């Protein structure tokens, strides 16, 4: 039996490697770091979380929570690792980055069917492979992918939020609490920095006037000299300064909306806007500025974010930044099984496919790993039902119109409509979830590793 090559040791690549290895497939997992760095990663760990430490909602009546439950049912390694390294985040699943990466790397390193190769892959392998090289694919491989597709790549720029030291936050001004929780102030998973209208207006004015970081060469040069067909931001990751350009109150009605929060010191007084901070490590020493992904100069980040009440003396553990993100023309290239239409032994997974968010990366890695194993076992590959969130994501990226195709996160809009929707928003969300899990249950016996044919390796 051929060895399965997986290119990229991120979320998608690690999940794919685990799923294939669990099904008896010999896997070679290639990760170019630390020999070749990306400009955005900080460590050489597998499954490093580059942006937020939150994997999104953990609630079944949310699209991300629905996808997580599907992944639990499908036996996702990375969801298991995330839950073992979880830190408080209200209804979300957030992790200690270091513990999460360590847990994933230990599992992958200790699997008898997985070989980790710390070297760069320069071209698409001429054998069964999964390409999960991520948004910062190295130039040679990007050029090889471009040659395969016959299309220019599409690019957008992803942005990272700053992280501050917890003990530098003024808790005489800021307060703890999650939206709509009773007794906000002493408890709660988020730290909230409230603003009145004058403070908010001053912050927005400073944000709009602040100087931005010029994009670096690796962010402006197209890998392999290929020209980009399109450059744009993904709507869900707009830098805060770009969002502020849409209107004076765009932040107050967006990431800084104060709904569901009351300051404990003056509970009757309405908060005009709020900047929330989410715990970023297990020890609770670091906090992420929620919704504040940015491309401002580091000195400007210090100046502007210290205008926020409670952050006047904040110490930055990490500044925000932007990095290039790359994805292929999946509707032209891929089947819903994540196989390349013209080369059934070649799969793509992760952000390269046009899915967005940590959950989409993990989910497509899982499906690519399962299907690569099935292909190598001479079993039919699987397209999940469109009534599941993973099936709907894969259907979207393989059927969307190329003229309007852009990255997609888990959301109810890509699911088939309900036959008899209930009137309440929560009730409809639970209908989607119930329908998904029922459809998935019929497939689980075919997907489970123990039910794959086990054939001797060469």
**Where in 262-389 does DSSP place strands (E)?**
273-279, 286-289, 316-318, 321-327, 339-340, 343-348
List the single range of 126-140, 169-183, 248-262, 347-361 with lowest mean pLDDT: 169-183
* The 321-327 sheet, strands edge to edge: 230-233, 154-160, 321-327
pLDDT band at 267 (very low <50, low <70, confident <90, very high): low
pLDDT of residue 140: 86
pLDDT band at 427 (very low <50, low <70, confident <90, very high): very high
pLDDT of residue 123: 93
List the single range of 56-65, 219-228, 422-431 with lowest mean pLDDT: 219-228
Question: Are the C-beta atoms of residues 63 and 396 closer than 8 Å to each other?
Answer: no
Rounded Cα gap, residues 234 and 293, in angstroms: 12
Mean pLDDT of 331-355: 95
* DSSP 8-state symbol, 324: E
Residue 64 has pLDDT above 70, yes or no: yes
pLDDT of residue 357: 85
DSSP 197-248: HHHHHHHHHHHHHS-BPPPPHHHHSPGGGPPPSEEEE-GGG--HHHHHTT-T
Superfamily for domain range 4-151+328-451? FAD/NAD(P)-binding domain (3.50.50.60)
pLDDT band at 115 (very low <50, low <70, confident <90, very high): very high
More confident residue, 225 or 193: 193
Residue 222 has pLDDT above 50, yes or no: no
Residue 217 has pLDDT above 80, yes or no: no
Residue 145 has pLDDT above 60, yes or no: yes
Reply yes or no on domain 159-324 having CATH 1.10.600.10. Answer: no
Mean pLDDT of 187-211: 93
Q: Which is it for strands 54-57 and 129-131: parallel, antiparallel or unpaired?
A: unpaired
Residue 184 has pLDDT above 60, yes or no: no
Residue 298 has pLDDT above 60, yes or no: yes
For residue 175, the cross-strand partners are 192
Domain boundaries defined on the chain: 4-151+328-451, 159-324
Rounded Cα gap, residues 8 and 47, in angstroms: 9
- Which residues have a Cβ under 8 Å from the Cβ of 24 and sit 6 or more positions away? 113, 373, 377, 449, 452, 454, 455, 457
Q: What's the mean per-residue pLDDT of the chain?
A: 86
Mean pLDDT of 83-94: 93
pLDDT of residue 324: 67
Token pair for residue 312?
A: 């006047």
Q: Is the pTM of this model over 0.85?
A: no
* DSSP 8-state symbol, 236: G
Residue 301 has pLDDT above 90, yes or no: yes
Q: Percentage of the chain surpassing pLDDT 70?
A: 86
pLDDT band at 152 (very low <50, low <70, confident <90, very high): low
Residue 232 has pLDDT above 50, yes or no: no
**Where in 68-121 does DSSP place strands (E)?**
86-87, 92-95, 114-117
List the single range of 222-231, 237-246, 371-380, 423-432 with lowest mean pLDDT: 222-231
pLDDT band at 177 (very low <50, low <70, confident <90, very high): confident
Rounded Cα gap, residues 310 and 170, in angstroms: 5
Residue 156 has pLDDT above 70, yes or no: no
Rounded Cα gap, residues 352 and 365, in angstroms: 11
* The 339-340 sheet, strands edge to edge: 114-117, 27-30, 4-7, 129-131, 343-348, 339-340
Q: What backbone phi and psi angles, to 5 degrees, belong to 352?
A: -60, -25
Residue 304 has pLDDT above 80, yes or no: yes
Find tokens 């899990």 and name the residue.
437
pLDDT of residue 171: 95
CA distances from 48 to 97, 105, 121, 186, 326 (A): 7, 10, 19, 32, 18
For residue 5, the cross-strand partners are 28, 129
Mean pLDDT of 291-307: 94
pLDDT in tens, 9-53: 999 999 999 999 999 999 999 998 876 666 556 677 898 887 788
Residue 296 has pLDDT above 70, yes or no: yes
Rounded Cα gap, residues 17 and 372, in angstroms: 10
Token pair for residue 74?
A: 């499908």
């Amino acid at each position: 039996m051929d060895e399965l090559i997986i290119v990229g040791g991120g979320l998608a690549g690690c999940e794919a490697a685990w799923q294939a290895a669990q099904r008896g497939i010999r896997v070679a997992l290639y990760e170019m770091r630390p020999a070749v760095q990306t400009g955005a990663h900080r460590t050489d760990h597998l499954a490093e979380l580059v942006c937020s430490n939150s994997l999104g909602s953990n609630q079944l009546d949310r699209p991300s929570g629905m996808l997580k439950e599907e992944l639990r049912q499908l036996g996702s390694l990375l969801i298991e690792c995330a839950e073992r390294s979880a830190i408080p985040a209200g209804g979300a699943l957030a992790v200690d980055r270091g513990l999460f990466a360590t847990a994933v790397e230990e599992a992958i390193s200790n699997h008898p069917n997985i070989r980790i190769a710390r070297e760069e892959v320069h071209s698409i392998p001429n054998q069964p492979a999964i390409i999960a090289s991520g948004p910062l694919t190295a130039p040679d491989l990007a050029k090889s992918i471009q040659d395969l597709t016959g299309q220019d790549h599409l690019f957008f720029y992803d942005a990272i939020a700053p992280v501050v030291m917890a003990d530098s936050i003024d808790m005489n001004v800021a307060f703890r609490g999650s939206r709509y929780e009773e007794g906000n102030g002493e408890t709660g998973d988020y730290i909230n920095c409230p603003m009145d209208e004058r403070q908010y207006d001053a912050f927005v004015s400073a944000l709009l006037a602040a100087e931005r970081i010029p994009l670096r060469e690796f962010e402006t040069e197209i890998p392999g000299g290929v020209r980009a067909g399109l450059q744009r931001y993904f709507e869900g990751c707009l830098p805060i300064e770009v969002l502020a350009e849409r209107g004076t109150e765009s932040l107050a009605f967006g990431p800084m909306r104060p709904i569901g929060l009351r300051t404990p010191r003056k509970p009757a007084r309405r908060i005009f806007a709020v900047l929330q901070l989410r715990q970023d490590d297990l020890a609770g020493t670091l906090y992420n500025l929620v919704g504040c992904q940015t491309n401002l100069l580091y000195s400007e980040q210090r100046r502007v974010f210290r205008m926020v009440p409670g952050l006047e003396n904040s110490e930055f553990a990490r500044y925000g930044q932007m990095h290039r993100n790359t994805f292929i023309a999946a509707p032209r290239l891929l089947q819903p099984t994540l196989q390349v239409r013209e080369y059934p032994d070649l799969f793509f997974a992760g952000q390269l496919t046009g899915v967005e968010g940590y959950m989409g990366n993990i989910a497509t890695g899982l499906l690519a790993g399962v299907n690569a194993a099935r292909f190598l076992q001479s079993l039919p590959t699987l397209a999940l039902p469109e009534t599941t969130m993973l099936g709907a994501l894969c259907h979207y990226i393989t059927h969307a119109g190329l003229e309007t195709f852009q990255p997609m996160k888990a959301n109810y809009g890509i699911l088939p409509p309900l036959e008899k929707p209930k009137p309440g928003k929560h009730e409809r969300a639970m209908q989607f979830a119930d329908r998904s899990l029922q459809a998935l249950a019929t497939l689980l016996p075919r997907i489970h590793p123990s039910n794959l044919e086990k054939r001797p390796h060469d």
